[in-house]
Chain A
């Protein structure tokens, strides 16, 4: 499938219209979804490396008994930062990176619906992370774990700035996730190519759409929890203080009301990546497309009804526990639908085990193991034995690394050729996969048995003679093998930039729209707006599916401005032209002013906060100030 060609003057005009200006202004003002997507990906990988370095430090400390490499206080800070970094600043943002880059390409649009909000979402993500890591500079990193249970987080037990960093940074980050989620939903409602109806969306789009709704509904729970914590700590409120009528469990309810939906927020788009590359590498359409799409949405919804399974050990009434235990079990149904769909796709296809497919296959294995240990922990009686042991650590790493990191690696090997225009090295890719897969098994499987042997999580060391020694050594060795795999990936990335083969538009002979553009895509994505007629526009006529006919070479050009079609939410019928905003610095300055407010709150400096709030208001007014308004005739 060749990419669409248009006469040179047309493509030059489109480039002029859509290109970001060079230099510092362009760097800070760009609203191009591809630039923002790349920034999201690189930044979240930097956070992955930071979180990985923290994990490495933890594993060196735990490799042998009675080690005193770090103090208990340092250990608390480092394990907390490891979890916070990975869960909040890596796992979701990396998927936002893929979504930002891929959505308009997959949907046949020229940008996201709200390009400036997109830039805002990136800058707030970056700056909240910078804010969080300034805690390292003052040596007061959050130290009460990533879920920060009250009352340990109250001033009496945590007098430093540590938990203030936590509360403010997470509130700041939820600005980023919320803005991003709103943008995805509006993009889906408004800016799909004509004909890209809901039954033709890639599963990855279904995944991100579901999680965007989850963010809109769940992120405020974390914001509320963190604001109440801040009020407790700084203004003497008593939300989590039982002595004055508060309740430590209030934190757990609020946090897990957010936290469990978040689990699906960091896995559903990743499952979507696998569902979408499966057809490419099995050379056939996904088996049970509609079921997988519905399973994605229903998992997201069920995710709101299971938060109490994190709280079985808190002494809730048995009826409540049983209810939430049953609800948690129900989630196995949509998960199993997805798994069987992938297996059936492989079974009925002709799998080609290139690196992306290897990672996808590894992902399925880890998904099943993590799912089974999830069923174990959803069972109330069993969970009471397992809670706060290494079994839980094993389970959550199988889920988060298995379902997130392996799918992300598959996504990188699949889509980096599109993003950079260069193929990654296939041999290094296989080394990369096997190092990570074996390292993961060696590193994390023994955690199950360590947990069953009674090793509690979050201990900074343990005595010799408890029977935990050799397994802990295995875990540490496995973790380092896994880290080596990540290093090979990074080396492969830089190798591809220097010496990789040119990818061409569609190196995998994949079926979806993002592969109808050159690699890397031009600033305007599609010279001619595609008119979509089927779920696999690039495979039409080659499968036994009876499909409509897409028009990729004869669609309209739209070159009177930064224009893309506005389409109806369900059937994607075009009903307007959306003229997209130019590059602008307001999102950058707006994020900067939130950063200033955050430091004002952290250091209790009213003047700093006031400057930040004032700047915030100026930025918002400037952002929305009408430009080029059509003034009505006087007196009208």
Chain B
């Protein structure tokens, strides 16, 4: 086998997809996705056990959540735009994309907070309240973690530590961010849309 002649002709720690760090993020996302699957299972299970009319007060209003969903999806777009930028070695596009993503993510959490404050029920009102605040709260916590990751990696981006070849941290943060957005679609569909379908 050719490797025995000169192994160091192979690249050392190439920062590309299929790097161990990339696989770790893929598997972290897989296990987190399962966590949300089990939480949504809890939602559907308790909904199916409740007889008719779940939630009791009717489906939650869409006034704030629809624009908020659009904002979160847009943040995935800006993240994608920035990551595509660094793939071509465009530092400015990376910085701008990540900054816009950070701001849109923070706006999402703020609007989420406003929606929380307008709810007539709380975590301890009934099982539906527990489900609503726990599931959206878990998602919000994931958004928050994504923002922290974004903030740290952005510091590195502004210091110019990423190049066209080496930007695995950006790829990982972007993957995580897209995952958080896709989970939101599942949460949004389950909590806001399915009650309108029955």
Contacts and interface: CB of A to CB of B under 8 A. Distances in A.
B42 interface: yes
Contacts of A246: 46, 127, 130
Contacts of A221: 34, 38
B27 A185 contact: yes
Contacts, number: 169
B194 interface: no
Interface in B13-44: 13-14, 18, 20, 23-24, 27-28, 30-32, 34-35, 37-39, 41-42
A555 to B, nearest CB: 6
A629 B30 CA distance: 29
A113 B20 contact: yes
Contact of B38 (A235, A254, A617, A632): A254
A190 interface: yes
A298 to B, nearest CB: 20
A333 B134 CA distance: 41
B85 interface: no
B4 A555 contact: yes
B197 interface: no
Nearest to A182: B27
A558 B166 CA distance: 23
A558 B46 CA distance: 57
Nearest to A560: B8
Interface size class of A (residues with CB under 8 A): 35 or more
B23 A216 contact: no
A626 interface: yes
B12 A194 contact: no
A423 B182 CA distance: 55
Most buried by A among B20, B28, B160: B20
Contact of A577 (B10, B23, B50): B10
Interface residues of B, number: 52
B130 A239 contact: yes
B130 A216 contact: no
A531 B4 contact: yes
Main secondary structure of the interface of B (DSSP, over half): helix
A556 B4 contact: yes
B125 to A, nearest CB: 8
B148 interface: yes
Interface string A556-582: 101011010110000000111111000
B189 interface: no
Contacts of B27: 181-182, 185-186, 216
For B1, B50, B156, which residue has the most chain A Cβ atoms within 10 angstroms? B1
A220 B127 contact: no
A67 to B, nearest CB: 42
A96 to B, nearest CB: 16
Interface string A521-539: 0000000010100000000
Contacts of A190: 18, 20, 23
Contacts of A5: none
Given A194-B3, A626-B156, 10 more contacts: A219-B31, A221-B34, A244-B125, A245-B128, A250-B45, A577-B7, A577-B10, A579-B12, A634-B160, A636-B160
Interface of B: 1, 3-4, 7-8, 10-14, 18, 20, 23-24, 27-28, 30-32, 34-35, 37-39, 41-42, 45-46, 49-50, 89, 91, 123-131, 134, 148, 152, 156, 159-163, 166, 169
Closest 9 CB pairs of A and B: A236-B124, A245-B127, A220-B35, A237-B130, A556-B7, A246-B127, A224-B38, A220-B34, A182-B27
24 contacts: A114-B24, A185-B23, A186-B23, A190-B23, A217-B34, A220-B31, A221-B34, A224-B42, A237-B130, A238-B127, A238-B130, A239-B127, A239-B130, A245-B50, A247-B46, A247-B127, A250-B45, A253-B41, A529-B7, A577-B11, A630-B163, A630-B166, A631-B161, A632-B161
